[in-house]
Each structure stands twice: as structure tokens, then as C-alpha cells.
Amino acid sequence: MDTKEFKRIFAPNHTLSKPVLFGMVSFQIIITLFWWFSQSSELMPKPSEILSALSRMVTEEKIIPELWSSALLSMKSMTIAVVVSLIISYLTVLPFFRPIAFVASKGRFLGLAGLTFIFTIITSDGHNLKVALLVFGISVFFITSMVAVIQAIPKSEYNYARTLRMNEWEAVWNVVILGRIDQVFEIIRQNFAISWVMLTMVEGLVRSEGGIGSVLLSQNKHFHLDAVFAIQLTILLVGVAQDYIIGIVKNLCCPYASITLERK
């Protein structure tokens, strides 16, 4: 690496070549692993201990079916939340529905623990209770982000649609819905992470169906830190893979979204 390339690493708003990027990331990984292996604290399991615990849980604890159960729960809740949130968000083009979206967005300040009793009365069984809690927890953040996207649309885009002799509903379809579909994918990526964060809590409330959250709470209760770190690592890898897949789908559906980006 020459001096010019090295300076670009610490210069703002610069892109790096793939070899330089690979070398930089490899260096950071090596430093992180060196720090991890050098730790002597009993509260920080070594990578070998985590891998051993992960292998044990796959064979003995049957963690794969539990992970699959949690993934299905997350995807089901996310699908319902996306549909509900998009309907409420898109309806804010009508003044009548703006207060509804405003109130829904403020629900993000409410803790799910305080709403468990209400959702228990509304739902019929434990599975629906978990879905309802996740849908609520995801929707309030999704609506907040989506309404902000819609409000940020400049007036010039609506005026341009009108110059093409579109009526107001056609302008909404082309400017608000189709014109911001790439940002919908980004919001979905962000909120999928929220669903995994909340998964442990809802599966801890209802343990009859199992799930990775239930296993995590059980291991944490018995202070099996190597198993706790192994489960967290598994969730992280699944989340990263899920995030990457959504990014691929976004690029396939909206290839135009990255044309005007400063960094790609």
C-alpha cells in the first residue's frame, strides 16, 4: 500500500479499492481476535469455549429447531407489521389519518412489559400473544421512519407529477409509493433487527413453543456464559445474513437507488 492509499483510509468521503478494503478489515479482525484471546477475565469466554458451547448446543440442546422457530415467528410478525405500517403511513397523505399515524408513532415510548396484560386479554393463545407484541413493537418504529420519509418528499416532485397531467392519486402512487420503495427496503432492514432484539423478551413470556430466546434466557439464568455468547453469535450471524439478503433484493428491485450515492 502506497502513502496515497494509506491517507485515503483516514480521509472523509473516500472509497477504497477492494484489496485495500480487504487488508484493512483483515487487520481490524486480527487486532480484535488478539485482544479477545489475551483477555483473562472469567466473564469473557474465549472463542474456543464459545465454539465448543455452540457445538454442544447444536447436538444436545437442538438449537437449530429453536432458531428456526424463532425465525418463523420473526418473519411472520415482520410481514404483518410491514403491511399494517405501510397502510397507516401511506394514508397520511389524507389529513384525516395523520393523527392516527402521529399517535401510533408515539407508541415507541411505551415498554412492552407494561402492555403484556392488555395483549394477553386481546389474544387467544401464547403464539398470538408473541406475534401481537412483536407487531406492535415493530410497527411503532416503522411508522415513525416511514412517515418521516413521506414528509421529506420535496414539493417539486409533486409538481413535476402534476405537469405530467397526473391527478393527486396518481401522484401519490408514483411519487410516494413507487418513488420511495427503495427506502421501504431500508426501513425493513432496520426493523428486522428490532424484531430480533425483542424476540428474547416475548419468547421468555411464553415458553411453551420454545424458541432461541427461551434457550438464551435459560442459559443466562444458570450463568452459562459460553452458551450465552454462542447463542448471541448465532443470532448475530442470522441477522447479518438476513440483512444482506434484504439488501440484495433491494438492489434487484431498485437498482437506481445507489446511482446518486456518495459511497457505495
The number of folded domains in the chain is 2
Q: Give yes or no: residues 68 and 153 share one domain.
A: yes
Nearest to 199 by CA among 22, 60, 69, 54: 69
Q: Give yes or no: residues 87 and 195 share one domain.
A: yes
Please report whether residue 238 resides in a domain. yes
Q: Give yes or no: residues 91 and 30 share one domain.
A: no
- Backbone φ and ψ of 165, nearest 5°: 65, 30
pLDDT of residue 143: 92
Count the neighbouring beta carbons within 10 Å of the beta carbon of residue 101: 20
The answer to whether 15 and 264 are in contact (CB under 8 A) is yes
Q: Give yes or no: residues 175 and 138 share one domain.
A: yes
Q: Provide mean pLDDT across the span 130-145.
A: 90
pLDDT tens digits, one per residue of 28-84: 888 888 877 777 666 777 777 788 888 888 887 678 888 888 888 889 999 999 999
Q: Find which of 56-70, 91-105, 188-202 is predicted with most confidence, using mean pLDDT.
A: 91-105
Separation between Cα atoms, residue 135 and residue 131, nearest integer Å = 6
Q: Residue 204 sits in which domain range?
A: 43-258
Least confident of 141-150, 211-220, 230-239: 211-220
DSSP state of 93: G
pLDDT of residue 166: 87
Q: How far is CA 249 from the centre of its chain?
A: 15
List, in order, residues 6 or more apart from 204 with CB less than 8 Å away: 213, 214, 217
pTM attached to this predicted model: 0.80
Please report whether residue 264 resides in a domain. no
Please report whether residue 17 resides in a domain. yes
Nearest to 53 by CA among 238, 225, 237: 225
The answer to whether 81 and 138 are in contact (CB under 8 A) is yes
Separation between Cα atoms, residue 107 and residue 88, nearest integer Å = 14
- Backbone φ and ψ of 13, nearest 5°: 60, 40
Grid-cell match 472469567, residue found: 42
Q: Give yes or no: residues 213 and 249 share one domain.
A: yes
Q: Is 71 exposed, middle or buried (CB count within 10 Å of its CB: 0-12, 13-18, 19+)? A: middle
The answer to whether 259 and 82 are in contact (CB under 8 A) is no
